[in-house]
A and B are shown apart, each in its own frame.
Chain A
């Protein structure tokens, strides 16, 4: 089957999902699918710097927090227009990425992992200190965000909006990694010194990738706040950042759609295992260890290997 047709079918299935859920009388799954789409956006944005740029960030949840607090702070002041929330999140996320990226990109490897963690932790504690916006306890949003005539508190509307953002970021991402900019980024991942010798300003390319990635993840944060009607510092805990890294690794790094697959599989695994037993984390942990030991390139690599063997 040609690839374009495959993508078209997947997209049609995604768009029609709420109707199928209605027919099956399982409206709950629309909310769950929205969650998957939101985390897919965040994982996708992380894959841009992790998979293509070779920059492992353990602080990506900071951008989820930035997006969520953009929604939370505007809403608590009575501004419920989603475009305002999104624009604020894009600007704030981009600015945060620019400032922290300038410092973090002076380092590489493990130091980069730790310095991104440090910035995310600082933001976490900043959010804890925002007593006017709930502090440690978080902030419940009483007014639903609106997109023109649309009400984002409606499950289906929010689902379609999230899918639209996901498709937009996937298309942008694919375009970006195939462009000259993306090739320079990948070249620097495999041989930084050679790319420097060729005259490329590696740090500027990486910084731009980091900023774009942060902006996309901030949108995921906005959508998360729209969905839960709640904002709290826990959105940017380091465990959340770790979860995002796990999603990307699980799906297969450096493929973009692998990140989407990873987000979906991890969330579905959690959901299914939690239904089976209260001690589902035991099984999830064992599965993750097994995946790391057996499947070298994540699920994407595993699928490719199976296809190759046949």
Chain B
């Protein structure tokens, strides 16, 4: 197997993995602490991508776009939480599914009204549009390397936030036993809002950074949402560590599978059969991974202890 191709694809897998982690971290916290299934998490990702595209086009500064995306989505997250989702924490999961499914329809259409149905093209910032030679003869886009670095840095920051600060302590306590936390006199409502804003900001960061790689369009959040749900279930709901491990696992499995499975099958099967089966099997691979993990460990790889 070509080592350069393997390295490139491994980096692509890593890049997908850190993006998925940014999405999954917020979703798994909201799920683990508030017990809320938020299908509209993908809408926050989309909001981040659009805010980034708009501010980047207006100001010409990529960093300003990033900051605007995170701020806008955090505000939007707080608004959604206070207006609607707050009323749903104590409800059945099914009511939450209905409400957040409605929110998806609402926000996709809103994006279509404001920015139109066509995809918006976001350029890679000029300073990062070159490629870097990671190995002799193996160029790799600098932008993607920066995305990986940013993702890893945010993951490290999140780890410090959760392991070392008072807010992090409350988050961990909330994830394992929220009734006890509120009984100890913590304003649980404010904690919930803060966690929701944090998750929204992370999702927006993922969306904003994905802008130049994918296309920015209405409905862009849903494919990512499905992958993110796969990640948090594989990782164990409520566990940040699990989300990180599972995000990398799913990122690698998906990227490596798509890159190498068709070629691998061509060695084993007749070419026509391999060409038909290869891409489909590669697309199925992450779901196969999830089904195997859940069948063996229904609570996920790193289950958080929930009360």
Contact = CB atoms under 8 A, between A and B. Distances in A.
Interface of A: 50, 56, 103, 106-111, 114-115, 117-119, 121-122, 125-126, 128-131, 238-239, 242, 245-246, 249-250, 253, 279-282, 284-293, 296
A279 B117 CA distance: 11
Main secondary structure of the interface of A (DSSP, over half): helix
Given A111-B298, A117-B226, A282-B113, A288 B280 contact: no
B280 A129 contact: yes
The 6 closest A-B pairs by CB, nearest first: A288-B102, A129-B280, A285-B106, A285-B105, A292-B99, A118-B287
Contacts, number: 134
Interface in B221-239: 222, 226, 229-230, 233, 237
A131 B99 contact: no
A44 to B, nearest CB: 17
A50 B94 CA distance: 10
B5 to A, nearest CB: 24
13 contacts: A106-B294, A118-B230, A129-B281, A281-B106, A281-B108, A285-B102, A285-B103, A285-B104, A288-B98, A288-B102, A289-B106, A291-B102, A292-B88
Contact of A125 (B37, B98, B280): B280
A242 B294 CA distance: 21
A299 B94 CA distance: 14
Given A107-B294, A121-B284, A291-B98, A285 B233 contact: no
A249 B102 contact: no
A13 B98 CA distance: 31
Nearest to B94: A249
A129 B276 contact: yes
A284 B109 CA distance: 10
A100 to B, nearest CB: 9
Contacts of A239: 222
Q: Interface of chain B, helix or strand or loop or mixed?
A: helix
Nearest to A126: B280
B290 A114 contact: yes
Contact of B95 (A107, A129, A292): A292
Contacts of A122: 284, 287-288, 291
Interface residues of B, number: 48
A279 B112 CA distance: 8
B29 to A, nearest CB: 15
Given A118-B290, A119-B291, A292-B96, A111 B299 contact: yes
A118 B226 CA distance: 10
A131 B109 contact: no
Nearest to A298: B98
Interface in B267-298: 276-277, 279-281, 283-284, 287-288, 290-291, 294-295, 298
A99 to B, nearest CB: 11
Given A107-B294, A115-B294, A293-B87, A282 B99 contact: no
Contacts of B107: 285
